[in-house]
Structure 1
Amino acid sequence: MAGGDGRRQTTQSSSNTGGETKAVVVKDDSVVALDESSSQSEVDMLRGRWELASVLNFLNVFGPVVAKDLKFTPEELEMGLIEPNSSIAQLHIILLKGIPPLSKQLNGSDAWVTVLCKKIALWWPWVAEGELPLTAAKGEEISRYKELDPTCRLLILKALCEIRADQDDVISYINDALKHGTEISCFRKDKIGVDGNGTSYWYDGNAIFGYRLYREVNKIKSKTKLKGKACLTPPATCLQWETIASNLEEFNKIVDELQSSKVAAEVAVGKTIANDAVPVVEKFHKASLKFPYVNLEAAS
């Protein structure tokens, strides 16, 4: 989450080894701690982007169509965006295979990055904003992808999901579901509540990916005091996205904070989360303790 909330910071422990190897071990531990801290900072940065929530929602809703054989947790997805691995590669390959024409280069090698660049380049103006962060460059794009900032890799994946959602099989899946009585809210996520400050709360997930709670804070940008007609102009606002809960403990903590508030709207949001989300998250938590999750690499 952008800015960090302090609850997800990695706890560093000291090494108690003795003898002549102590200095070496301490040195190694410090490197590991630095890597963990850096990784956590990147996780927080990703969780502060609404695009991550959008990708997870896409996989949650359309997984049966676009990636039914893939099983992984949001945390595994985050790690794949931070440090590209076979898991994130397999996800991209499966999504790319669903976007015609099918390329023969999608054989499990790093050539999928080249295919990605070519497909993304055609669609980018319609599915994303700003400049395309990666383009085909006679094979150099493969190494460049690994050098990208995790946020850039997230934006590329988000765009790929948008393209995949526009394919005939996904559109047919939506139409068939609606004909059989599925609510539109299954495909268009609604907020679960708004507090007294205009902050929106969103809840999403399933029994495969787990569940997350998000908060969209409506912040007013400070500006110089104006005179005359200019003062009638509404103040500029910006939206700040936060991932505030990703496990049972964090869900309960948010509920306690909201329900102890003196603001009625916040108490109402807390009750909604407690009644609608917490029982589901608790059930998932108990099931995950009995049946540890099989990650994507093990399942592929």
Structure 2
Amino acid sequence: MHTLMNGEATDQVDILDRGLNYGDGCFTTIAVIDEQLQLWQRHWQRLNDTCTKLGILVPDEALLLAESEALITEFGKEPAAIKIVITRGSGGRGYAPPKECETRRILSINAIPEHYTMWRTDGIHIANASFRLALQPELAGLKTLNRLEQVLLKQQLGKLQQVMNPVPDDLIVCDANGFVCEATMGNIFWREGKQWHTPELTEAGIAGVVRAELLANNPNIRIGHYLPEKLAEADEIFVCNSLLGLVPVSNINGSELPVRVYPESWLTRL
């Protein structure tokens, strides 16, 4: 079994868990390469920040690391993905949490999808989503368990894949004001001439750990509010997340783009 809940192997969760009932919690997904957690400090900071924002007791970092390492040892040496889910725990029959709750840690490990390697080499096709993200500045950037918007977007992608040619691999998502936020599976960056751009995520969207690493190492990236038409002017586009790395976009809304194969590093100097 490749799942631990509060350190114990199990495939069951309490039906009163607040993560299950209300989405009261957060998560992060970490690439494991050569049996090492990639970008751990950024993932840990994401969990810490989100738990603090939600008022959930932050789990001990050393405990999460020990449980992650136990899963890695069991899984073996192949590249893998560890998902860490933190919920407030069980209790309460309404939205208001009880005064005392035991934070629940749920860790699982799985193989990284095989087609990610092909995407990094060949690129992906993307198209515009009609569904828009709601504006919620208090939760913008955070990876909470409330992911119904992404569920609906994936359903829309599935429908478009049946009728569009070329078939899109992913969708560009805008917020309620019509500004580009992200792709359904990660953050988006694009280059016009020598200038790189990425959307502002202070009102909607998820601020990924690879995005954070890129911004830290490339201070000249311009962050702003951009309409989707701006992407039509791009010379180069990529989508990124912690498992994909940097994946080039080879086609956007039917228009082809040159494909650049990015180094196997999260520290790419753009």
Q: What range describes the TM-score normalised by the shorter chain of this pair?
A: under 0.3
* The structure with more strand, counted as a fraction of residues: 2
- If the length of structure 2 is used for normalisation, what is the TM-score? 0.25
